[in-house]
Structure 1
Amino acid sequence: MKGFVQKIKQKFSKSKNLSLVMGAQYERQNYGQPLDRSQSSQFPGRDVETYFRPSSLPIKNTLFTDHHFFDPYYDKDVNEMKLPATLTRTAEGTVLAYLSVLREAENLTPSQMGGCGTVGMAKLPYPIAYQFFTKDYHKNVSYQEYLQSFRGIGHLNVIKLNRLPDENEVVSYFIELETIEGSSKGLTYFAYYYGKIQLKKVHSHYKIDQMKLYGEDFLCAPYHLWQHDAEAVVEVMYGNWCQLIKKKLPTTQEGYVKTIVFIGTDGAEYRLIFYQLTNDTDVLISQFRKHSKGNFETIHIDPYDCVKKR
């Protein structure tokens, strides 16, 4: 059996290499250079993005797919790189530009390989992306530490991007990332992350000051957790634990945004906003309570504190 499998692998490897050679020759003969994702119109009716992702959500980080943006940065050290001022004039512009740079980056390793040649712009985008951070971030995270955080990742798409309520003049965005990662098995796989990017205004420009990401598990919730479901979270944590729910209204959902409203035992109206991740887990994003003037104000209730007080 082992010998048979080895023969199959050798046969597949030969046919794969032949296909790659023929494909490269076809590209050179017909287009003079390898296919650029920004030139998908060369194949009418063909969406090149279908080769990169299974998700149907539109990609957000698509600013630099023609690769000309990277031309001035070749052969420059990380400390010599400067960003165009136009990229950081708005908070959302900074986030989109930063994530668009990272979309073209790869940090595959000998133990986590993928692709059949050069992937994207290789590691060139990483020192450029590092320039989107504040000086305080640079003090806390060196460039090498930053680079290592992408170990094994070969491609990155942003599929969710939403601004969170501002707090004390701090601007934050929720993001969900869809990555293609290498492996030691001769295949690549999709992995998903979600988290928050926090920005700070520095001399009329927005720089990234903090960032925290969490990996998504596709096995935990369906087997063990009720915490993945927004309705269960509200009923258990805010109802049973905090004894705060008098009447719960029907859940509403638009796309991946779930809104749950309930009337509290204190007579106030509460509104909880959840985002639904790719693995179907609902993540609590914001909590609001309607004050006496009829407007909603941001609040922070930790249901675990309710348990501690019992």
Structure 2
Amino acid sequence: MKHFTKWINRAFKHYPRKEMTLIMGSHYEPQTFEQPVERNKTSSITNSNAEKYFRPSRLPIKNTLFKNTQFFDPYYELNYKEIKLPATLTRNPYETILNYFSILREAENLNQNQLGGCGTVGMAKLPFPIAYNFFTKDYQNRVSYDEYLQSFAGIGHLNLIKLNRLPDENGMVPYFIELESIEGSSKGVTYFAYYYGYVQLKKEHNLYKIDQMKLYGEDFLCAAYHLWQHDAEAVVAIMYGEWCKLIKKQLPAKQDGYVKTIDFIGTDGVVYRFIFYQLTNDTDVLISQFKKNTEGNWESIRIDPYECLKN
């Protein structure tokens, strides 16, 4: 799986601090798509199915571990430097992420410019210094607590709706996540916003801590009206068929929940499998690529379609 994890690791490249934008403690980039060729019939999205892009998620919320507010009682008088997390919260990577976002679900950092709610929301700012201690020392050195707190400005509520483990490499454990936030506004009304991205964990003193996070914002108008890059079938047909001349026969996509799988028979006679995750805004994000080897097993690969254009 190393080809895929090298690609994922590029998402965690350390940018110069002056260029870094932080949102919810994560390096943030808007969701963008390169468009070197014109949109064609394969990728057309008609008005008849555009309505599906305008609804928020109905997925169950995963970060619901701390419904009892007594969990927060020991932390009322402590700053982030004084907090020592119980080891049980970070015993394995999955529990670390679930506990981290369960704590943040009770946090809010609304302000005079981004209002919302009626009175105190959740546990207000109390969860932030607790959550900050889920970071490795390296991550804390890169992101100060003040920067971390400010990165939640305008956030009133946070739900974790997707959590999928990705292949490990070099001691790092990456996960794919999708977040649903409720954010304040200058109008005093709140609105939903969605983000997807990656969390990378590292073992520190036999506990799993968060070492890097990166988020991309989801747009709910672009997918509905523009671009074919949001659609898995079109991505495979255009990028790997038209650009790379790799497809002899593309098979119908198979979908299980938000996981979409597309197989195709290559012009080289090899069977390929591409796996996408479908976001709340209905954009399909390519997660992994495989080809079937001579033993009949799936082998992880990484084909860059933009290299095909160059060549």
TM-score class normalised by the smaller sequence = 0.7 to 0.9
Q: Give 1:253 deviation, angstroms.
A: 0.1
Give the gaps of 5 or more residues in structure 1.
1-52
SS of 2:152's equivalent in the other structure is: coil
Please name the residue that 1:59 is paired with.
Answer: 61
- The residue type paired with residue 238 of structure 2 is V
CA displacement at 1:168 relative to structure 2: 3.6
Shift of 1:263: 1.6
Q: Provide the secondary structure at the position in 2 that maps to 1:79.
A: coil
Higher relative contact order (CA closer than 8 Å, sequence separation 6+): 2
SS at the partner of 1:137?
helix
Q: Is the radius of gyration larger for structure 1 or structure 2?
A: 1
Q: Is the 8 A contact 2:171 2:203 kept in 1?
A: no
- CA-CA distance at 1:204 after TM superposition: 1.9
Measure the CA separation in 2 of the matches of 1:201 and 1:265: 43
Question: Does 2:99 align with 1:115?
Answer: no
CA deviation after TM superposition for structure 1 residue 262, in Å: 1.0
Alignment correspondent of 1:87: 89
* TM superposition shift of 1:258: 0.2
C-alpha displacement of 1:248: 1.2
CA distance in 1, matches of 2:91, 2:167: 19
The aligned residue for residue 288 of structure 2 is 286
1:252 is aligned, of 242, 251, 254, to 254
Counterpart CA distance in 1 for 2:172 and 2:293 is: 23
Which position in structure 1 is the counterpart of 2:263? 261
Tell me which residue corresponds to 2:80.
78
Structure 2 Cα separation of the partners of residues 223 and 56 of structure 1: 22
Please state which structure has a larger fraction of its residues in helix: 1
In terms of mean alpha carbon deviation, does 161-170 or 187-196 score higher? 161-170
Task: Please report the RMSD computed on the Cα atoms of aligned residues, expressed in angstroms.
Answer: 1.4
Deviations along 1:194-228, one digit per CA (max 9) or x if unpaired, are 11111111222111111000111001112211100
Question: Shift in Å at residue 292 of structure 1?
Answer: 2.3
Q: Which runs of 5+ in 2 are unaligned?
A: 1-54
Q: Which runs of 4+ in 1 moved over 4 A?
A: none
Structure 2 counterparts to residues 136-151 of structure 1, below 5 A = 136-151=138-153
What percentage of residue pairs aligned between the two structures are identical?
A: 75
> Which of 202, 205, 208 is matched with 1:203 structurally?
205
Q: Which moved more, 1:109-118 or 1:295-304?
A: 295-304
Aligned AA (1:258): K
Q: List per-residue Cα deviations over 1:211-270 (Å, max 9, x = no partner).
A: 000111001112211100000000000111111112211110001110011122222221
Q: Give the AA of the match of 2:186.
A: S
Shift of 1:54: 5.9
| Structure 1 position 180, deviation (Å) | 0.5
Of 191, 194, 203, the residue aligned with 2:193 is 191
Amino acid at match of 2:113: S
Q: Is contact 2:277–2:287 with CA below 8 Å preserved after alignment?
A: yes
Q: Residue 294 of structure 1: CA displacement? A: 2.0
Q: What is the aligned partner in structure 1 of residue 231 from structure 2?
A: 229
